[in-house]
Amino acid sequence: MTHTIDTRCVHAGREDFGALGVHAPPIDLSTTYPVTDLAIGTASFDALVAGEPRAENPIYARLHNPTVARVETAIAQLEGAEACIAYGSGMAALTALLMVSRSRGGHMLAVRPIYGTSDHLLTSGLTGIDCEFVPADEIAARCRPDTALVLIETPANPTLDLVDIAAVVKAAGDVPVVVDSSFATPILQNPLAFGARYVLHSATKFLGGHGDVIAGVIACAEADAKPLRTMRAATGALLHPLAAYLLHRGLSTLALRVERAQHNAIELAQRLSGHGAVRRVFFPGLGSVRNDHLVKMQMRGPGALMALDLHGGHAAAAAVMRAVQLITPAVSLGSVDTLIQHPAGLTHRVLDESARQECGITDGLLRLSVGIESLEDLWIDLAQALDTALASTALAGAA
Ligand SMILES: *Cc1c(COP(=O)(O)O)cnc(C)c1O
């Protein structure tokens, strides 16, 4: 545990390999496990249903799976947490947390913007929790006796706004704070160190890192993990062991991937700021995002995500998505390859028009997730796509 995070990325969750005599994580696909000693079986069943992290017999794969448990151990170590619980998606992780939080009350607070589907889940009332969206500096005043949870996302999807984790924790008082830290990864930010009770990741993004696994995780104290495990065993929002294997494999290069992608992003953000088609680049550290100073206070770097507001609005954004050749025009983020997408038309489509405006999600906004390709290849592709957009919108303007 005293190793640096780079070393932990490579070795965490592999502690039992020596005893097992293996070099790669075994994939255990069993759905059920023989119970030859009924007393041990019954005690194990009771322990797992009560949310214990393991038992002598795993009993049934909805209660425990060793391949999934290994990647949970690894991610807990990366976040400096006692425990981690893995789910079939980031949305399943958030849903589980909302359902567990219901026992503390039927009200919660959240700070916009957040990932579009998270916003939709909180607005829809589907989980029976009533969410109010408030500015971060109104949290203390808006907490009620039945407020069960405060949710923030920093850096926020898609505008890269930063939220002061320590200040929100202080304002929330006894109310637990969950930080969606998917954009930062444990390489750049550890929300638990600033007093957050839970950290949530869409592990589909940087943690998996190769665009081939959907997963979600929550890292927290062991006492908070128990009700989450009980909920997962009852509701079945599991991560499949094959997905857990891929996620664990992705973790070993997490530090390398984040550093390389961030290096590319820092330079691209500068160059894009000077391009004639771009009105504004939202990227932490450029002075263009809300609470920009926090990048130095709670993060170890600005990350690899940025948003570009184009002069040409929706038409220019659509033209860029049509014109990119190397870069993939697609939702999702945090992959080895660079992705570009239009939040107003895709990821944040589920927000109503006024909520999108409140969040600064304009029709000319594109979100760019920078990958690990060569910087110059990325720049050539972006510059030609933006030049094409500039030309086509100028033509449309002249017509
Ligand atoms: C993608 C994403 C989610 C949802 O995760 P899934 O794995 O797609 O369910 C939640 N929060 C953020 C910030 C995301 O980018």
Q: What percent of the chain has pLDDT over 90?
A: 95
Nearest CA to ligand 1 atom 6: 90
Binned at pLDDT 50, 70 and 90, residue 220 comes out as: very high
pLDDT in tens, 346-383: 999 989 899 999 899 999 999 999 999 999 999 999 99
Would the CB of 77 count as within 6 Å of ligand 1? no
Q: Which of 115, 200, 349, 369 to mutate to test the pocket of ligand 1 (most atoms within 8 A of CB)?
A: 115
Whole-angstrom distance, CA of residue 364 vs CA of residue 313: 4
Would the CB of 363 count as within 6 Å of ligand 1? no
Q: Ligand 1 centroid to 205 CA: how many Å?
A: 7
Q: How many helices (H) and strands (E) does the chain have?
A: 16, 12
Say which amino acid occupies 272: L
pLDDT in tens, 148-194: 999 999 999 999 999 999 999 999 999 999 999 999 999 999 999 99
CATH number at residue 355: 3.90.1150.10
Q: What pLDDT does 262 receive?
A: 98
Please state at what angle helix 222-235 crosses helix 38-49, rounded to 10 degrees: 110
Q: What pLDDT does 398 receive?
A: 60
Q: What pLDDT does 176 receive?
A: 98
Domain assignment present for residue 66? The answer is no
Q: How far apart are the first and last CA of the chain?
A: 64
Residues 6+ apart with CB under 8 A from 255: 5, 6, 9, 187
Q: Which of 98, 112, 118 to mutate to test the pocket of ligand 1 (most atoms within 8 A of CB)?
A: 118
Nearest Cα residue to 264 out of 319, 316, 302? 302
Nearest CA to ligand 1 atom 4: 90
Domain assignment present for residue 36? The answer is no
Nearest CA to ligand 1 atom 12: 115
Same domain, 279 and 378: yes
The answer to whether 4 and 64 are in contact (CB under 8 A) is: no
Would the CB of 57 count as within 6 Å of ligand 1? no
Given the residues 180, 224, 309, 381, select the one marked as catalytic. Answer: 180
Domain assignment present for residue 25? The answer is no
Whole-angstrom distance, CA of residue 284 vs CA of residue 304: 10
The answer to whether 282 and 306 are in contact (CB under 8 A) is: yes
Same domain, 188 and 287: no
Dig out the tokens for 297 from the structure.
């206070």
Residue at which a domain ends, from 186, 215, 240: 240
170 is catalytic: no
Say if residue 397's pLDDT is above 70.
no
Nearest Cα residue to 368 out of 354, 381, 352? 381
Whole-angstrom distance, CA of residue 390 vs CA of residue 378: 18
Domain assignment present for residue 245? The answer is no
Given the residues 62, 102, 104, 142, select the one marked as catalytic. Answer: 62
Same domain, 195 and 300: no
Q: Ligand 1 centroid to 188 CA: how many Å?
A: 18
Same domain, 270 and 178: no
Q: What pLDDT does 118 receive?
A: 97
pLDDT in tens, 284-314: 999 999 999 999 999 999 999 999 999 999 9
The answer to whether 53 and 225 are in contact (CB under 8 A) is: yes
Q: What pLDDT does 393 receive?
A: 79
State the CB neighbour count (10 A cutoff) for residue 233. 19
Residue located via tokens 């004639």: 276
Q: What percent of the chain has pLDDT over 70?
A: 98
Same domain, 375 and 296: yes
Say if residue 396's pLDDT is above 80.
no
pLDDT in tens, 121-138: 999 989 999 999 999 999
Nearest CA to ligand 1 atom 1: 202
Same domain, 194 and 313: no
Q: What pLDDT does 205 receive?
A: 98
State the CB neighbour count (10 A cutoff) for residue 88. 17
Dig out the tokens for 257 from the structure.
């991937």
Say if residue 317's pLDDT is above 60.
yes
Q: From the alpha carbon of 333, which atom of ligand 1 is closest?
A: 15
Q: Ligand 1 centroid to 160 CA: how many Å?
A: 15
**Mapping DSSP to helix (H, G, I), strand (E, B) and coil, where does residue 282 land?**
strand
Classify each residue of 169-192 as buried b or exposed e, where b means 16 or more C-beta atoms within 10 Å of its C-beta: bebbeebbbbbbbbbbbbbbbbbb
Q: From the alpha carbon of 93, which atom of ligand 1 is closest?
A: 9
pLDDT in tens, 74-116: 999 999 999 999 999 999 999 999 999 999 999 999 999 999 9
DSSP string, 85-143: EEESSHHHHHHHHHHHHGGG-SEEEE-S---HHHHHHHHHTTTS-EEEE--GGGHHHH-
pLDDT in tens, 41-84: 999 999 999 999 999 999 999 999 999 999 999 999 999 999 99
Q: Averaged over 325-349, what is the pLDDT? A: 96
Say if residue 233's pLDDT is above 90.
yes
180 is catalytic: yes
Dig out the tokens for 128 from the structure.
């029976």
Residue located via tokens 């030859």: 36
Q: Ligand 1 centroid to 98 CA: how many Å?
A: 15
The answer to whether 168 and 188 are in contact (CB under 8 A) is: no
Given the residues 112, 205, 260, 367, select the one marked as catalytic. Answer: 205
CATH number at residue 200: 3.40.640.10
Q: What pLDDT does 2 receive?
A: 79
Q: What pLDDT does 1 receive?
A: 52
Q: Ligand 1 centroid to 184 CA: how many Å?
A: 13
Nearest CA to ligand 1 atom 8: 90
User: 0.85 exceeded by the pTM?
Assistant: yes
Same domain, 101 and 235: yes
Domain that holds residue 236: 84-240
Would the CB of 91 count as within 6 Å of ligand 1? yes
Would the CB of 115 count as within 6 Å of ligand 1? yes
Residue ranges of the alpha helices (H) in the chain?
5-11, 17-20, 38-49, 66-79, 90-101, 116-124, 139-142, 165-172, 185-188, 222-235, 241-251, 254-273, 294-298, 313-323, 353-358, 375-398
Nearest CA to ligand 1 atom 9: 90
Count of domains in the chain? 2
Whole-angstrom distance, CA of residue 9 vs CA of residue 77: 9
**CA atoms in the 13 A half-sphere facing the CB of 110:** 26
Q: What pLDDT does 121 receive?
A: 97
Same domain, 212 and 261: no
Q: Which of 111, 157, 162, 178 to mutate to test the pocket of ligand 1 (most atoms within 8 A of CB)?
A: 157
